[in-house]
Amino acid sequence: VTSLTIRHVAERFQHSNDTVSRYFKKMLFIFSDQPFYSTHVQFPTNEPVHPKTQCNPKFWPYFQNSIGAIDGCHIPVSPPAIIHSNYCNRK
One-letter identity of residue 17 = N
Helix (H, G, I), strand (E, B) or coil at 29: helix
Digit-coded pLDDT (tens) for 13-41: 899 999 999 999 999 888 888 888 888 77
CA–CA distance, 72 with 46 (Å, rounded to integer)? 10
Evaluated on CA atoms 19, 21, 24, 30, the torsion sign reads: negative
DSSP label of 39: H
Digit-coded pLDDT (tens) for 40-82: 776 666 666 777 878 888 888 877 777 655 455 556 677 788 8
Neighbours of 53 (CB within 10 A): 17
Q: Which residues contact 13 (CB under 8 A, 6 or more apart)?
A: 20
CA–CA distance, 6 with 83 (Å, rounded to integer)? 34
